[in-house]
Structure 1
């Protein structure tokens, strides 16, 4: 095995990053358009925050533990 063998420059990493960054940027840029106003979940904000907090607490208590 060569001592100075490098990893390939391209792989799944750049594809994964682009597939996450592009929709995120599009959502941030387009969030104030009136077309997307119906997608707001202001009624469900408090229940979703509570559910999220419960999931965080449960994962901290019963989540996977590293050896």
Structure 2
């Protein structure tokens, strides 16, 4: 997946505030890319769809360790 390609259109949550502190997602058939809206040319995390679900579960439980 190339996150900047038309196949990976970036979406921002409707729950985002106007401050620009947003996470954007781009979906393809088998992957999801995640980036910081403040830095669109910056790093992109790419997950298999199931991997993103597990990552979000860990974040919600506040169990992410360094």
Q: Which band: TM-score by shorter chain? A: under 0.3
Structure 1-normalised TM-score? 0.26
Structure number with higher strand proportion: 2
Structure 2-normalised TM-score? 0.26
Relative CO higher for 1 or 2, CA cutoff 8 Å, sep ≥ 6? 2
- Larger C-alpha radius of gyration, 1 or 2? 1
